[in-house]
Amino acid sequence: MQTTIAQKAQFRGVGLHSGAAVRLAILPAPANHGIVFLRTDLDHARIPARWDHVTPSQLCTLLDNGQGATVSTVEHVMAALSGTGINNAVVEVNGPEVPILDGSAAPFVQGILEAGLRRQRVPLAAIRVLRPVEIQQGEAFARLSPADHLEIHFDIDFVDGAIGRQEKRLDMANGSFVHELMDSRTFCRQADVVQMQKNGLALGGTYLNAVVVDGDKVLSPGGLRHRDEAVRHKMLDAMGDLALAGAPILARYTGHRAGHAMTNKLLRALFAQPDAWEWVVLTPAMESRLPGAGVLPAAASLAPRPRQLAVA
């Protein structure tokens, strides 16, 4: 069955790249609505959260409605929606960028679970991958191959000793996103921060909303949340970018040094090949293997948070 959020969840923070104050709200939507962003500062301009509305952007995923309205850095909130099993929602935002909050998807997940989920008694269809589809750029590649539920396998390799080479595989069933990935933060090198800010990016970035490394050192207070937090965050990003398919994907995603742009190109390659995928109406057994299945009990294990979440 399709699912929406039970009531409004609200968030406040700053845009990672713009540094501007941002308010965002996730609201219920009817069945078969999908995820749609509304720019409340632009007369509620609608921006569908779909792969074919992604436009090239530096360091994040940016959606464009083709009529002048855009919203960027959508990957974390999209991962949270997918990871909690929400298929239909309106995401209101009062500016061109989603708030970065703590740099992970955890505040979004916590807000969603506190607001609750509502089943909609309408069958849920998914995209089943029938044969491998792959995109390569130099040494990097991203691939979708057949599987009966979503699996993610990712590896990265950085010269900085604080990151190095990391690899992780996850079966995304049984709330794995909530238990394993949601709290992993975006990361960058100190030298890249300086360069980005010279270019007018990362103006809202701080040591509190990103993991910043310099060689072997982690500069962010408190260090890492996980030894392999960097690769976990890349998996989180992939989850959010795959959610732009517009429906759950039944496939194994493999990413090697991949990023936002490559995952979007992978979706475009998939949908350009009609024989590589099919629609399938999910049975209860198939639904039980989706990323959001069974996450509601996890809400009890989350630390209590106010409905209005704020990050300085």
Q: Quick one: CA dihedral 21, 27, 32, 33, positive or negative?
A: negative
Name 267's bridge partners.
none
As a whole number of angstroms, the longest Cα–Cα distance in the chain is 52
Annotated catalytic residue: which of 76, 149, 233, 260? 260
Instruction: Report the amino acid identity of residue 72.
Output: S
> Catalytic annotation on 260?
yes
Q: In whole angstroms, what is the distance from residue 157 CA to residue 148 CA? A: 29
Active site residues: 260
